[in-house]
Structure 1
Amino acid sequence: MKKLPVYQINTFNCQSDENDLYFNDFKSHLINHDFIELSHSHNFYLLVLFTNGSGFHTIDFTTYEIQPNSLFILKPGQVHSWQLSEDIVGFIAFYSQEIYNVYFGKKQIDEYSFYRDLKNSPEMKLNDLQTQEISNYFNLLLKENKQNEFRKTDKLLNLLDVIHIELARIYESQQDHNLHPYNFKIKELEQLILSNYKTEKSPSFYADKMNMSLKHLNRICKNVLDSTLTDFIYAKIILESKRLLSTNKLTISEVADNLGFENYSYFTKVFKKYTNLTPQSFKKLV
């Protein structure tokens, strides 16, 4: 098995001088970049909206059905692949965290909740009206991207941000993320896990960092996420282990070491507990 490719935006011959933006209609994108149908990851954000056609989109080892009104939002590092019908139609956008955060200053891209939630789905199902509204903004992006007008990058980034705002409104209404009083605590926990999961796997570490009892933090996780704190921590660890194993770059022992496990056998035990597969079996499947 070949090493899993990690693509950069300039792989796709984008027109932006910064090589931090790329916009295209999906059919044109496929003509020159059919290699994207094979499993790969990126070092940038990806947004894709399908308006026609069908297929399957596998993201971090979960497969989603593609149909009209399907929208997918991917973060850097997520592993994905496509199976697409010949009549597939839609829009696709690539953008780096750097260009977005530098341009908007105080507003950071990961403040949008569909990027922050560890348990969120990368899939959004729009209705016909929502798809039409988002398509209109994409058409404006494509039109501006083909021209060389004054302050082109400014307009592209602001149109991209309008799409983010519209999607955030849809996402919040679908997921009810703002309704739970402990939502801000879950966001704090997510950031702590993302920063410490390789070295700290004990639930008590995160409870201490958040200045609350382990019992109380577990209760919050159960009420908001329907998950124990331990399972929430290990969801991130298992996902990262799958990503590392799928690249075929590291041995299983190296993956275990990279994720802070003391030995190969304990990593294997934990991996099998959460996936019902050994790491060796998983590598053969991907």
Structure 2
Amino acid sequence: MLSQSVYTLVNQQNGNLSFKVFEFDNSSYFDHIQRNNFFTIIIINSGEGLAKVDLSEYSFRENTLFAFYPYQPFMLASEGPMTGISVQFHHDFFCIYRHHKEIASNGILFNNVYQQPFILLDQNNKLTLMNIVREIVNELKMEALRKDEVLVSYLKIFLVLATRIKLEQQSVKEISGNDKQLFIIQNLRNAIEDHFRTKHSASEYADMLHVTPVVLARAAKNHFNMTLSDLITERIIVEAKRELYLTDKTVKEIAYELGYDDEYYFSRVFKGKTDISPQSYRETIGFNRGAVS
């Protein structure tokens, strides 16, 4: 256990939270919908219940690690006492988009519309990750040279190891799945990645994959725990967030590149999924391409 409950690092330029680690000893921290403007990692040490994430629900228990990206709606409804650790960091402290090739976590641990937003930890994996969290806390306690760089290094290691665990668990799940449905799902995933900028309707993907809309809808619901339309829209929103953060393109330009001729309709779709407008997302997440992180 950590000797104290909360450790933070504040951005000296704007006063905003950059990095935070805290222990929680009851369920009240996450028992209501969260829409944070930073990445949130939660490790459940004890307790069980129901996680509500986006439009889906998942059962959870002890030794579960959740990974949520900025403005992803989630809440953890515990059936009793719940304890754990949370690590939170802002885009401007460490940009997942910029470092995705180094750590491979963007699109696997975070921003993955095709996979559940959590992994299960065995005792060895949990011990390894918790040791890194302790090193992070020790660094946060110190007033030392280049603290930011040391924290980023620890965070990278944590994310790489968590990503490895998730990849291993994905492989086991796919091996044990239904071959025919997995074939459909893989083709659907590839089709969405290739065409989400131009094709937005479920029927277009059914036609493309030569299956009936009912069959495709059932496969999407069974594998992704969401409707096909929601899956397509979520993928569009992930790309929109990336563009809003990494580029200085106007909302109108981003909307057009994602297949929306009407900027205002696109903004309504974005706000419907994130509870915030594209421009507000850019302003609160931070547009800071020149930052070293």
TM over 0.5: yes
CA RMSD of aligned residues (A): 4.5
Query: What is the identity, as a one-letter code, of the residue corresponding to 2:139?
Result: E
Q: Secondary structure at the match of 2:110?
A: helix
Aligned length in residues: 219
Structure 1 regions of 5+ residues with no counterpart?
Answer: 1-11, 208-212, 242-253, 261-286
Distance of aligned partners of 1:158 and 1:64 in 2 relative to their CA distance in 1, 3 Å threshold: same
Query: What is the identity, as a one-letter code, of the residue corresponding to 2:110?
Result: Y
Is contact 2:9-2:20 (8 Å) kept?
no
TM-score, normalised to structure 1, is 0.58
Which residue pairs with 1:189 in the alignment?
192
**Are 2:21 and 1:27 equivalent residues in the alignment?**
no
Q: Secondary structure at the match of 2:10?
A: coil
TM-score, normalised to structure 2, is 0.57
What is the aligned counterpart of 1:259 among 269, 277, 283?
269
Distance of aligned partners of 1:35 and 1:137 in 2 relative to their CA distance in 1, 3 Å threshold: closer
**Are 2:118 and 1:115 equivalent residues in the alignment?**
no
Which residue pairs with 1:77 in the alignment?
71
1:184 Cα shift?
10
Which residue pairs with 1:232 in the alignment?
228
What is the aligned counterpart of 1:141 among 136, 140, 150?
136
Is contact 2:201-2:229 (8 Å) kept?
yes
Q: Secondary structure at the match of 2:152?
A: helix
Is contact 2:7-2:22 (8 Å) kept?
no
What is the aligned counterpart of 2:33 among 29, 32, 39?
39
Q: Secondary structure at the match of 1:114?
A: coil
Is contact 1:100-1:109 (8 Å) kept?
no
Distance of aligned partners of 1:143 and 1:88 in 2 relative to their CA distance in 1, 3 Å threshold: farther
Which residue pairs with 1:156 in the alignment?
151
1:42 Cα shift?
1.4
Q: Secondary structure at the match of 2:143?
A: coil
Q: Secondary structure at the match of 1:113?
A: coil
What is the aligned counterpart of 1:15 among 3, 9, 12?
9
Distance of aligned partners of 1:215 and 1:240 in 2 relative to their CA distance in 1, 3 Å threshold: closer
Distance of aligned partners of 1:61 and 1:226 in 2 relative to their CA distance in 1, 3 Å threshold: closer
Query: What is the identity, as a one-letter code, of the residue corresponding to 1:121?
Result: Q
What is the rounded CA distance, in whole Å, between the counterparts of 1:64 and 1:189 in structure 2? 24
Larger relative helix fraction = 1
**Are 2:179 and 1:176 equivalent residues in the alignment?**
no
Identity percentage over the alignment?
14
Aligned 1:202-213 pairs, distance under 5 A: 204=204
1:238 Cα shift?
8.2
Aligned 1:58-69 pairs, distance under 5 A: 58-69=52-63
Once the two structures are superposed, what CA deviation does each residue of 1:9-49 show, in whole Å capped at 9, x if it has no partner? xxx99432253533323227x79xx5643223112211011
Distance of aligned partners of 1:191 and 1:59 in 2 relative to their CA distance in 1, 3 Å threshold: farther
Is contact 1:14-1:21 (8 Å) kept?
yes
